[in-house]
Chain A
Amino acid sequence: MVRGFNHKLEQQQAPAFFARGPSAFARLVFFAALSLALIATDSRLQYLNSVRQTLVGILHPLQVIANTPTQLYNATTEYFSTHNHLLNENQQLKQLALKQDIALQRLSTLTLENEHLRQLLQANKALVESSILGEIMHVGRDPFTKKVIVNRGEAHHVVAGEAVVDAKGVIGQITRTYPLSSEVTLITDKSLAIPIQVERNGLRAIAFGHGRDNTLDLPYLPANVDVRKGDTLVTSGIDGVYPAGLAVATVSRIEVTPDSPFAHIVCVPKGGVENHKQVLLVSIAHAELSASATTATLPPARMPAAKINLAPSAKPAPAIPEKPQASPASKTHARE
């Protein structure tokens, strides 16, 4: 009888207010340990990359839903923009197109001339580039980094390492790709470095993002370096990631302190790092992030281009001519 009663007591569940399972502290320890394990795995090992890609792919519809209100707003304001405004804009765009057309005509002659000169010098061919137009979906949500998300991903053959450019200059680099979107680290991010050249005198350096305000730093340059306020910095192209000659930043401040052997040079990015919507994702002959190109050695992916040009000089009469080398060599001769 008593045993039965005891049994009944044991079976009786505590009211919901008290039924809490393991204590909060036990849960804290468990989940904190789990989080720390995740942090360690994700920061040191590469296992979670594919997991992240899949999960972001699943979350993509949610992101699209979240983007709809602003897109609707933009569409309606566009729809109700006045006739006059559109006419004005059209006029301006036509003028701009005319100016750019003239510049383009000169560009094609210059490109040909450049190619010819390179052949004479037997220099490497300028790397071929291809580009995709993308649109910035939203700004990165992590306040500690400078990132944006664009609406082009693996489905559009975007590869990590591609340069991201807008109408005015370089804005960043693709650092992570997802199925339908990809993450762009802006040049102002602390972790991004970009090889540059001062347009005025060809001085090469590396610009680092400052991280906090939207500026770039040019560290490790001696105090007497020939950089002036207002100098334009362009990409040097020696990294094989960014095409050469794209505008990056303008020097805005140079500080030389007597106690430091280095000059403190602050630059403002040219590209609308924070205010453009359309961007171009530029890849150089499918340059990949893994191929950390240096000046001296070209990554294997781009070796053929170098071989083609060097072939005639290195081997004047090749005994066993390789097929791919034979045809470009004859081409060069034909042109000469």
Chain B
Amino acid sequence: MHASNLKYIYLSLLLAFICLLLPWSGLALTIRPDFLLLVTIFWLIRAPNMCNVGTAWFAGLLMDLATGGIFGQFALAYTVTAFFAVRYQRRLVLYSGTQQLVYVIILLLISQITLLILKTFAGAHFIGWAYFAPSITGVLLWRIAVAFGLNTGGRARGA
């Protein structure tokens, strides 16, 4: 499957963004995974020559727009995450399915922690450990996608 096409990358990012725009509320909002970041990480791993830190930055900017917060917060969080995703992308070939999941959850947490630091600087309070729920649901979603045959690279394919 040679889906590493720019068209597919942007289409999937747009779809992920629309998923985020769905009118989530209550518990669903608390545990909603960060679809946009998941798709970005997927492409960072699968097609690093086409999707790089800059793409993640743009995705983050979209998130800033959607959340209505100060511009640049999500952008910075996504940028940092993308850096770590790309930095260790080549080692991913050696990772087993479980190792890859750990890698993904660490990436998701990096994004959330960066955002938490930024928000705390802006005067927000920590809103409880449920804040990190999206990372867990995100990695579950990743596992489900792998189970349904999504090729996430490395030895994890079809696991």
Q: Decide: A143 and B131 in contact? CB cutoff 8 A.
A: yes
Q: How far is the CB of B147 from chain A (nearest CB, A)?
A: 25
CA of A17 to CA of B4, assembled, Å: 12
Q: How far is the CB of B152 from chain A (nearest CB, A)?
A: 17
CA of A27 to CA of B18, assembled, Å: 27
Question: Which residue of B has the minimal Cβ distance to A55?
Answer: B65
Q: Decide: A63 and B67 in contact? CB cutoff 8 A.
A: no
Question: Which residue of B has the minimal Cβ distance to A51?
Answer: B71
Q: Which residues of A contact B56 (CB under 8 A)?
A: 31
Using known A-B contacts A52-B65, A62-B18, A190-B125, determine if residue A35 contacts B23 with beta carbons closer than 8 Å: no
Question: Which residue of A has the minimal Cβ distance to B20?
Answer: A141
Residue A72 at the chain B interface, CB threshold 8 Å: no
Q: Which residues of B contact A8 (CB under 8 A)?
A: none
Q: Which residues of A contact B113 (CB under 8 A)?
A: none
Q: Spot the interface stretch: A132-140, A241-249, A312-320.
A: A132-140
CA of A45 to CA of B83, assembled, Å: 29
Q: Decide: A70 and B70 in contact? CB cutoff 8 A.
A: no
Q: Which residues of A contact B100 (CB under 8 A)?
A: none
Q: Among the interface residues A24, A41, A143, A190, which one has the most CB atoms of the partner chain B within 10 A?
A: A143
CA of A42 to CA of B25, assembled, Å: 27
Q: Decide: B72 and A183 in contact? CB cutoff 8 A.
A: no
Q: Decide: A38 and B52 in contact? CB cutoff 8 A.
A: no
CA of A108 to CA of B8, assembled, Å: 63
Q: Decide: B79 and A43 in contact? CB cutoff 8 A.
A: no
**Count, chain B residues at interface, CB 8 A:** 45
Question: Which residue of A has the minimal Cβ distance to B32?
Answer: A141
Q: Decide: B80 and A32 in contact? CB cutoff 8 A.
A: yes
Interfacial residues of chain B within 8-55, with CB under 8 A of chain A in the complex:
17-26, 29-30, 48-49, 52-54
Q: Decide: B125 and A17 in contact? CB cutoff 8 A.
A: no
Q: How far is the CB of B16 from chain A (nearest CB, A)?
A: 12
CA of A251 to CA of B118, assembled, Å: 34
Question: Which residue of A has the minimal Cβ distance to B60?
Answer: A35
Q: How far is the CB of A210 from chain B (nearest CB, A)?
A: 10
Interfacial residues of chain A within 1-41, with CB under 8 A of chain B in the complex:
16-17, 19-21, 24-25, 27-28, 31-32, 34-39, 41
Q: Which residues of B contact A21 (CB under 8 A)?
A: 52
Question: Which residue of B has the minimal Cβ distance to A148?
Answer: B25
Per-position binary interface string of chain B over residues 111-130, scored 1 when its CB falls under 8 Å from any chain A CB and 0 otherwise? 00000001100101101100
Question: Which residue of B has the minimal Cβ distance to A15?
Answer: B49
Using known A-B contacts A39-B76, A138-B23, A212-B127, determine if residue A34 contacts B66 with beta carbons closer than 8 Å: no
Per-position binary interface string of chain B over residues 90-101, scored 1 when its CB falls under 8 Å from any chain A CB and 0 otherwise? 000000000000
Residue A176 at the chain B interface, CB threshold 8 Å: yes
Among A24, A65, A144, point to the contact of B52 (Cβ < 8 A): A24
Q: Decide: A59 and B65 in contact? CB cutoff 8 A.
A: yes
Q: Given contacts A24-B87, A36-B76, A37-B72, could you give 16 more A-B pairs where the C-beta distance is less than 8 Å?
A: A17-B49, A21-B52, A27-B52, A28-B83, A31-B53, A31-B79, A32-B76, A34-B57, A38-B72, A48-B71, A63-B21, A140-B67, A141-B20, A142-B68, A212-B125, A274-B26
Instruction: Give me the interface of A with B, judged by CB distance under 8 Å.
Output: 16-17, 19-21, 24-25, 27-28, 31-32, 34-39, 41-43, 48, 52, 55-56, 59, 62-63, 65-67, 69-70, 137-145, 147, 149, 176, 183, 190, 211-212, 274
Ordered by A's residue number, 5 sampled pairs between the chains whose C-beta atoms are within 8 Å are A19-B49, A31-B75, A67-B23, A141-B68, A183-B68
Q: Which 3 A-B pairs have the closest CB atoms?
A: A38-B72, A35-B76, A66-B21
